[in-house]
Each structure stands twice: as structure tokens, then as C-alpha cells.
Chain A
Amino acid sequence: MEPTNVENPDYYHKVVDCQWACPAHTNVPGYIRLIAQERYDDAYMLNWESNVFPGILGRTCDRPCEPACRRGRVEDKPVAICRLKRVAADLRGDITPRFPEIPTKKNGKRIACVGAGPASLTVARDLMPLGYEVTIFEKNDRPGGLMWTNIPQFRLPPEVLWEEIDYILDMGVDIRYNAPVESMKWLLEQGFDAVFVGSGAPRGKELRLPGRYDTDRIYIGIDWLESVAFGHTNSIEENVLVIGVGNTAMDCCRTSKRIGGTNVKVMARKSKPYFKASPWELEDAEEELVDIVENHSPTEFVVEDGVLRGMNFDIVDWHENDQGRLVATKLDEAFFPAEAVILAIGQETAFPWIEDDAGIEFNKWREAVVDRTTFMSTREGVFFGGDAAWGPENIIWAAEHGHQAAISLHAYCSGEDIRKRPPEHMNLVSAKMGLHEWSYSNDYEYAGRRKMRHVRLEERLRSIETEVEEGFDLEQTLTEVERCLNCDIQTHFTGSLCIECDACIDICPLNCLTITHNGEEADLRTRLLAPADNTEQEIYVSEALPQTARVMVKDEDLCIHCGLCAERCPTAAWDMRTFDLLKPYAGQDADHPYSGMGIEEMAPGGFVSVAP
């Protein structure tokens, strides 16, 4: 293999599994260390920079980081990254003085955003400090989009939501409530320099079965949740069936349990391994005594004299056919009584307000055709992001879409090529502080993942406003932060210094290192001290070593970043270096990502406490 090019920020970035998996590339180990040092404001700001809504996401994120977490490969449970994010948000002080300054003298460019959800809000946050005038058109009387209408209050308290949204609106965003955009052509005539569509995927999917329209007790999940959020709906019948088993279904069944539903069942067509809901949301629903019924495929709404009696289902068995597709075999039929049914089987984008001749191309599913890199539609100057771009995702994706769209909007309004994306850079600073001191805690914490405490069942079901999760206490926090393996403290190798004494190889607790003769990757992976079977993880290959011309090979898969290789290296060929991804944002010099964020230098000064 060719020697690994660690100058490319992607190499070390990939080693930080959580950060690589996060759509917004939040510096997870960085903020976890800040929490460990009780620097909650810094931890919050480091989050805020990339994911914009730390308090909201600390409760509601889909957590792509956690399944990626290396700790999950070393033992069974990943670090509770999301919960720690909430700790940073809960314990922060007043961070408003750290927000970027908003120029009073504007740059003369005006941007229109459609919908006040996370994507549009991120666009506004990135562009307001650059002098843009951002106008958001919101159809409701409150901002937040699906974060407000679809996430129940027992998961996301409204004050958390409003506070983080206000941080952005207070930058001077011109937000127009009760102002649904009913015509794209009209919007385009309003003299904006560019338009961003962040109107989400607001249409719940229908289930067209016999009886669907014979009763008014069948609700569309997302519409029903919205109606509950606005207080228009505050009760439901006792026996409720929720159709579908995604995260919206979980919110529907848990909301039902709080406003009158005593016997609530989630009806799933498939079996558990195929459920779309996140495992932790399923657990929470089951804890609240919601029945989750597998392998029941709905066939009919049973309505007698205009009154909903229940639903008929086929009980099915799933197996793979020759083409590898799942097919169902009907085993039996079953009737489930119910007085209300909530449909939570997915949602899609809806653009009734975009005229066919507005210059925006749609595909056959009536989704806008949007460029994956630039986020621009087929009409110059009209950008899409969040769920509006490619269908339902989640908040963290919407935030990242917002960042990328903001980069494009800024380039577009500055007359630059929007295809030319600003490059990522990195800082790589030695974490060595002294003979045996490193600027991070490298002792291995054996404790298992801390368990989130929940409000008692009777109490939480009494009110929809009672937040279920209590957040980590100090003891839980201090243990959980130590579980982080600090994957951003990279093992950095300088081959020319190596004397091939084998000290690093002998000490490595997870057999990551081997000195051997070079070869092709597939061959090399089998010749290591422990075979490198996880091909999703890179192997590092050094230049030829000075004494024997062999190469140092490191399998990144299970490295716990304990630093023992560097500590046992007599020549400092191995060093632990703090990797800091410098991710560019709109109008920002990538080399100075913290400009305006007020975070003390991350490394190696991370350990130095700032005198009051």
C-alpha cells in the first residue's frame, strides 16, 4: 500500500467515528472533554457552532453518532453522546454575549426562507452575521416547524425550543407569522436576491382501505400531533390503534397515553428487526405500557353506522424470496377493537404552492429536483434544504443542509461559483503536556453506559407537559464523560524517527499495531497481529522504516486512544495529537472556525483552566 496521507483531513476525521457519522460533523469528543472540565458554556458553543440546536438535539436527535461510536465495538454500549449534549445545554450559563455580532450595516442582500423549521433557522443563523437581511415566511403563529408541531412536549419542553430559536430570531431575522407562501411566483417577484425553501415534508401518508372515509375518528399522525401541540386536541378515545412503527408512531402512541388513551396499540406490518423507530423510542413507548404488535397488516377499517369499531388485520409471516425481497405470507386474520386510529406510516413533501411554470423541475413523485452539493433547484437562486429537499430526515440533517445551503447562498449572492465548495482543514496539535501527562484523560473507564432516569410512570402520564427524561445528574455525567475514548486524540506516527524497538506493539492493549513487510491492502489486513476484519475502518500504513524498510501498520478499528504507544515510544515516533476539524461555514475562514464563538483554544490548552 501507499503510505497513508494523514495530511488529508478526512483520514483522521474518519477515525473520530461519531464526528464522521454526524451529518453536521459536531466535534463530539471535544465537547465531551469540555463537559468533563465543567466548561459547559464552551461545550454548548462547540455544539451550537455545528448543530445550532444543542438543547433541542440533546433531547430529540436521531443520534447517528451513537451506533458509530467506537466504544460500541470495544464493549457493547456506545457513549451516551446525546445525553451529554443535553448536559451541556442544561448547565450552560448565559452564552448570548458569545454569539457572533450582527452588523448594523447590512450587505444589501435579502434572502427569503419558506418555513421556520430547523433548516431555515440554520440558514438565518449562518447568514445574519454576514450582513444579510433574512426574511422567514411561516404559516403558523409560532416558529420551529416540525420541532414544535410534531415533537411532543414531554420529550421537548417548549421553553427549550423557544430559547434556542430565539437566539437566532434575536439576530434580527424578519419573521412573518401566519404568512403561508401560496405562490412561488409571487415570492420570486418580491425582490429577494435568493430564496431558500425549508418547508419540510408536511404531508402525512394516507392508508386507503375500505372504511377510511366513513368516520371522523381516523387521524393523520403528524396533523394530529400538530393539533395537540396547538391545544386544539386535548383528548382521545380509550382504545387507540396507531398504524406504523416509526418515530412519529411512537410520539402518537405516547401522546395518546397522556390524553385519554388507556389501551393503546402500535400495529406493525413487519417484525421488530425491521421497525423504523429508534430502539430507544421503542423502549420508552413499551415502558409506558404501549403494546407493540408485530406482523399485522391492516386490511379494513370496521365502521358500523358511522361509528368506528376497530380494524381488521392479516396476520402475516415475512420471508425473503429469491430476489432477496421480503414477502408476506398470510397466516390468519384478526380484529382489533378501537374507537380511534392514528396513521403514522410516513410523510412526504408537498409543494402545492409552487407553480408548474415557476422554473422548478419536479420528479415523478412531485419532489423538487435539487443538486446534492449546492442545494440549488433547477431554478437559479432557489435553494432547498431540510425535509423539503429529499424527503423526511431529521433535525440534525436539516441543520447541516442549512449550513451547506448558506454556503451556496453566500457564494451565489457574492457572484461566485456555488459548485466551488470551501475546503475543510484541520489542526493537529500534540497532546503531550509532560513526561507522562497528556491533555486528556487516557485512563480507561470500565463503567457501563449510564442509564437515563425517567419520571415515574403515573406522574408522567398525568400531563403531556411533564418531561419524561430527567437528564443526567453530576455523578452520571462525570462517569459517562470518562467513557468517551477521545478518538480525536490521534495516534500520529513519524516513520523516520522509528527504531523498531517494538515497544508500541508490545504495549498496545488491542493489538492494533504491527511492523511488517508492505503489501496490498487485502493481504496486509490478514497479516497483522490481530486480523483487520472490519473493512469499514481504515488501516494506516507508514512510509518504509529506516532500519529494515518494513512498514508500521495500524488497524484503526479498535484503537482506544489510550496513548500507551506514544508513552512507550522512546523516540516520539508515536505522538498523540489532538485533531480538530476545521469545517467551513458560510463566509467563514475555515482556519478560524471559532471566530465569534468565544471558545478558548481547544488544544492543547484544553486542560488549562481560565482564571476568573
Chain B
Amino acid sequence: MTYIAKPRVFHPSLEKNELGLTRRDYEGVMSTLCAGCGHDSVTAALIEAAWELAIPTHRAAKMSGIGCSSKTTAYFMSESHGFNSVHGRMPSVASGANAANRDLVYIGVSGDGDSLSIGLGQLCHAVRRNLNLLYIIENNGVYGLTKGQFSASADMGSKSKRGVPNEQPPIDPALLGLSIGATFVARGFSGDKNQLVPIIKAGIRHPGLALVDVISPCVTFNDHVGSTKSYAYTREHFREAVEAAFVAPKDFVRPADEITADIGSDDVHDVRMHDGSVIRFRQVEGDYDATDRDAVYGYLRERQNAGEVPTGLLYVDPESRDLHDVLGTVDRPLWNLPFEELCPGSEALDALMENYR
């Protein structure tokens, strides 16, 4: 952690987005995480993505549970709404918030402890419901806040700081998500923002739950030789399955959205989401198809068995329908419905009951 505040002085070339805001306007308070924590880079990637998407800061809600990861929400978008909830219960609180106000952008930040241990059931059902939420798991394989015990995502054989190997099998959030119907599954690495920022942008705009597993090394307890979640190990075993870029709807392509390959070349293809936005994929692996759930599942198993860390926007369902869509709720956020409409009174109830007689 750091005692002095980041000075409010700016580079004169600092760009502004459509809202006239700079990246600095998307910052939060000073991080109190360990120096070099991967989570701070995820914060920086979130700031970059939100700035590029020009999200009005007062129209976003940051949701989190408990853990190092869950502190992250304090470190970006100070002006946004936020709820730091009970351990592992972020999905429930996010569900409630989202049910009441569907108009906000929901950004959930959790960790491997918060989501894969105590909150695993919560995570699974939020995925199933396809809550419209960016769900980031800052995954470092250890419980950092309680001094480095293995978490549920620690790989078999990965060694603790004291040299003891983990002997329990890991829960892989990407495979888990694919198996329970997630409509957006991605894996990134805190040390590679070029890949992570477009994934976060696509995830924020995804109509449904965007599950983003981010390998985010714990510099204090899990960045040693023998760890499979260290900076060095991740870089060595990193494998990009596919490169993705988010293209905003209405043909509005900003320079930040461009990717290097030409559109129309063989290895680039667009997946059009039903809100009109486009995810532009550039092939890295020959015939990788990010819309084929089973193939993606197979690919992940294969690469992970080969000891690699497959990354990228791994899977997306272009037909994704979020919770409100499935439930057929009104377009207007519930909080904004007049009392008479939300609660039409005993006569309306009686009329409804008549239907069941």
C-alpha cells in the first residue's frame, strides 16, 4: 500500500472521450493492495475499458464481496455506485440491484476465494440466470488476505510459498461456466492489458453475464518458482486461443476499437450481437470457433492437459438473452415505475385470481 495520493496533475496530451472525460476521471481511491498486485492492473484495465466505452460514471454500479479482489472496486470509478457485500454473496446483491434498476452498467469484481469457494453456488446461479453483469474473477490461486493458503483454483502440484504442493483438483471457472450455460466466457492475464481491455469492453456490453477469469498473480504469496499462477509461469504457458475486439454498435468505430488485421481477410470474422454490437475475432489457432460451446470446452481441456493457459474471449453466445429478457420484465427500470403500476391494488389482484378459478 502507498501513503501518498496519486497527484492530480496530468499529462498535457491526456485524451478525452466522447463525454469529455479523461482516464484519470475514471480512477478511484489509492490502492491499498500490495505493490505489484495483479489486481491493480485489472483495475487499470477496467479504467481503460470504461473510459474507451465512455460510460457515464454515475450510470455504473460496482459490486463485490470479500477478499483482496473485492477491494478492487474502490480503486476505480469513484463516482459510480458500489456495494461491497457479504463474502461470496455479491451475485445475490447484484441480482437484486439489477432487478430493481436494469439501466445501470453492472461491474462485479470477485476472486477465486469469493467465487469458487464460499460463493460457488451464488456464482453458478447467477451464470444460469444470465444476469446482465460483467463478472470478473481475479484469480491468483491463493487466499492472499489470510496469508497464502491454497484456494479452490490452485492447480494440482502447484507449490505454496513454503514449497508444499497442492493435492486437490482445481475448479476452473471457464470450464465451469461453459458447463452451466454461460453466454460469455473469457480468460485474461493481468500482465497483458492489450488482450484484457477489449475482453472487458465486450464483457461490459454483453447482454448477459460475462464471466472473465483473470489470472492476477499474488506477488506476496504466489509469485514464486513452483507456482502455476505467477507472472513468470503465466507468461511461459500463456496461449492465446483467439484475438477479440469489441466494436460498438451504429457503425461507430473508434481508433481504440481497431485491430490490426483487415476486415474481410480470411482469419477475421465478426460475430454480431443482437444489440447491434460486433465482436471481431481474429484467428490465432487455425479453426477456433468462439461460438461453438462444445468445441471450446474440448479445446480448453486439451490445452490445459498440455500444461498451457489458454486465454482470450473463449466463448460467446450471440443469442444471449439476459434475465430481464427471459422474464419479460418491462423496459422501464422497476424503481422508476409509479406505485400504481408496480402495485395495481386489490382489484387487479382479484381479477388475476379470477383467472385461476
Decide: B193 and A502 in contact? CB cutoff 8 A.
yes
Contacting B7 at CB < 8 Å: which of A436, A444, A505, A567? A444
Q: Within 8 Å of chain A (Cβ to Cβ): is B252?
A: no
Decide: A510 and B10 in contact? CB cutoff 8 A.
yes
Secondary structure type dominating chain B contacts:
loop
Known: A506-B44, A547-B232, A564-B4. Contact between A499 and B223, CB under 8 A? Answer: yes
Instruction: Give the residues from 228 to 251 in chain B that come closer than 8 angstroms, CB to CB, to chain A.
Output: 231-232, 235
Known: A499-B232, A503-B37. Contact between A444 and B9, CB under 8 A? Answer: yes
| Residues of A contacting B11 in the complex (Cβ-Cβ under 8 angstroms) | 510-511, 530, 558
Of A173-181, A568-576, A581-589, the one with at least 4 CB within 8 A of chain B: A568-576
Instruction: Give the residues from 177 to 191 in chain B that come closer than 8 angstroms, CB to CB, to chain A.
Output: 190-191
| Residues of B contacting A548 in the complex (Cβ-Cβ under 8 angstroms) | 235
Instruction: Give the residues from 424 to 452 in chain A that come closer than 8 angstroms, CB to CB, to chain B.
Output: 436, 442-444, 446
Hey, what's the 0/1 contact readout for A438-481 against B, CB within 8 Å counting as 1?
00001110100000000000000000000000000000000000
Decide: B35 and A499 in contact? CB cutoff 8 A.
no
Shortest C-beta distance, A502 to chain B (Å), equals 5
Decide: B44 and A436 in contact? CB cutoff 8 A.
no
Known: A501-B191, A530-B14, A569-B35. Contact between A506 and B40, CB under 8 A? Answer: yes
Q: Within 8 Å of chain B (Cβ to Cβ): is A560?
A: yes
Q: Within 8 Å of chain A (Cβ to Cβ): is B334?
A: no
Interface size grouping (class) on chain B: 20 to 34
Decide: B231 and A509 in contact? CB cutoff 8 A.
no
Decide: B14 and A502 in contact? CB cutoff 8 A.
no
Instruction: Give the residues from 11 to 58 in chain A that come closer than 8 angstroms, CB to CB, to chain B.
Output: none
Known: A443-B4, A501-B219. Contact between A530 and B38, CB under 8 A? Answer: no
| Residues of A contacting B7 in the complex (Cβ-Cβ under 8 angstroms) | 444, 509, 560, 562
Q: How many residues on the A side are at the interface (Cβ–Cβ under 8 A)?
A: 33
What is the CA–CA distance of A562 and B5 in the complex, to the nearest angstrom? Answer: 10
Q: Within 8 Å of chain B (Cβ to Cβ): is A305?
A: no
Q: Tell me the nearest residue of chain A to B1, going by C-beta.
A: A436
What is the CA–CA distance of A499 and B41 in the complex, to the nearest angstrom? Answer: 13
Q: Tell me the nearest residue of chain B to A555, going by C-beta.
A: B11
What is the CA–CA distance of A444 and B4 in the complex, to the nearest angstrom? Answer: 9
Known: A499-B232, A501-B36, A503-B36. Contact between A436 and B3, CB under 8 A? Answer: yes
Q: Within 8 Å of chain A (Cβ to Cβ): is B273?
A: no
Hey, what's the 0/1 contact readout for B26-67 against A, CB within 8 Å counting as 1?
000000001111101101100000000000000000000000
Known: A506-B44, A547-B231, A560-B7. Contact between A567 and B2, CB under 8 A? Answer: yes
Q: Within 8 Å of chain B (Cβ to Cβ): is A522?
A: no
| Residues of B contacting A507 in the complex (Cβ-Cβ under 8 angstroms) | 2, 6, 40
Decide: B35 and A502 in contact? CB cutoff 8 A.
no
Decide: B35 and A570 in contact? CB cutoff 8 A.
yes
Instruction: Give the residues from 210 to 232 in chain B that come closer than 8 angstroms, CB to CB, to chain A.
Output: 217, 219, 223, 231-232
Decide: B10 and A533 in contact? CB cutoff 8 A.
no
What is the CA–CA distance of A547 and B217 in the complex, to the nearest angstrom? Answer: 14
What is the CA–CA distance of A319 and B338 in the complex, to the nearest angstrom? Answer: 71
| Residues of B contacting A503 in the complex (Cβ-Cβ under 8 angstroms) | 35-37, 40-41
Instruction: Give the residues from 12 to 31 in chain B that come closer than 8 angstroms, CB to CB, to chain A.
Output: 12-14
Q: Within 8 Å of chain B (Cβ to Cβ): is A75?
A: yes
Contacts between chains A and B (CB distance < 8 A), count: 93
Shortest C-beta distance, B51 to chain A (Å), equals 13
Q: Tell me the nearest residue of chain B to A572, going by C-beta.
A: B35
| Residues of B contacting A570 in the complex (Cβ-Cβ under 8 angstroms) | 34-37, 219, 223
What is the CA–CA distance of A444 and B8 in the complex, to the nearest angstrom? Answer: 8
Instruction: Give the residues from 483 to 509 in chain A that come closer than 8 angstroms, CB to CB, to chain B.
Output: 499-503, 505-507, 509
| Residues of A contacting B38 in the complex (Cβ-Cβ under 8 angstroms) | 501
Contacting B191 at CB < 8 Å: which of A436, A502, A567, A568? A502
Decide: B6 and A564 in contact? CB cutoff 8 A.
yes
Q: Tell me the nearest residue of chain B to A73, going by C-beta.
A: B12
| Residues of B contacting A506 in the complex (Cβ-Cβ under 8 angstroms) | 40-41, 43-44
Q: Tell me the nearest residue of chain B to A501, going by C-beta.
A: B36
Decide: B9 and A568 in contact? CB cutoff 8 A.
no
What is the CA–CA distance of A436 and B34 in the complex, to the nearest angstrom? Answer: 12
| Residues of B contacting A501 in the complex (Cβ-Cβ under 8 angstroms) | 36-38, 41, 190-191, 217, 219, 231
Decide: A567 and B35 in contact? CB cutoff 8 A.
yes
Q: Within 8 Å of chain B (Cβ to Cβ): is A74?
A: yes
Decide: B9 and A502 in contact? CB cutoff 8 A.
no
| Residues of A contacting B40 in the complex (Cβ-Cβ under 8 angstroms) | 503, 506-507, 568
Contacting B13 at CB < 8 Å: which of A75, A505, A531, A564? A531
Instruction: Give the residues from 542 to 594 in chain A that come closer than 8 angstroms, CB to CB, to chain B.
Output: 547-548, 558, 560, 562-564, 567-571
Shortest C-beta distance, B240 to chain A (Å), equals 14
| Residues of B contacting A443 in the complex (Cβ-Cβ under 8 angstroms) | 4-5
| Residues of A contacting B34 in the complex (Cβ-Cβ under 8 angstroms) | 570
Q: Tell me the nearest residue of chain A to B230, going by C-beta.
A: A499
Shortest C-beta distance, A513 to chain B (Å), equals 11
What is the CA–CA distance of A578 and B137 in the complex, to the nearest angstrom? Answer: 41
Decide: A74 and B191 in contact? CB cutoff 8 A.
no
Decide: A75 and B9 in contact? CB cutoff 8 A.
yes
Decide: A564 and B191 in contact? CB cutoff 8 A.
no
What is the CA–CA distance of A504 and B219 in the complex, to the nearest angstrom? Answer: 14
Decide: B9 and A560 in contact? CB cutoff 8 A.
yes
Interface residues of A (CB under 8 A from B): 74-75, 436, 442-444, 446, 499-503, 505-507, 509-511, 530-531, 533, 547-548, 558, 560, 562-564, 567-571
Would you give 26 A-B contacts (Cβ < 8 Å), ordered by A? A436-B1, A436-B2, A446-B8, A499-B36, A499-B232, A500-B191, A500-B231, A501-B37, A501-B41, A503-B36, A503-B40, A503-B41, A507-B2, A507-B6, A507-B40, A509-B9, A511-B11, A531-B13, A547-B231, A547-B232, A558-B11, A560-B9, A562-B4, A568-B36, A569-B35, A569-B36
Question: Lowest 7 A-B CB distances belong to which pairs?
Answer: A570-B36, A444-B7, A506-B44, A570-B219, A501-B36, A530-B11, A568-B35
Q: List 16 other contacts, CB 8 Å, given A502-B193, A506-B41.
A: A436-B2, A444-B8, A500-B231, A501-B219, A502-B41, A502-B190, A503-B37, A507-B40, A558-B12, A560-B7, A560-B9, A562-B7, A564-B4, A567-B35, A570-B34, A570-B223
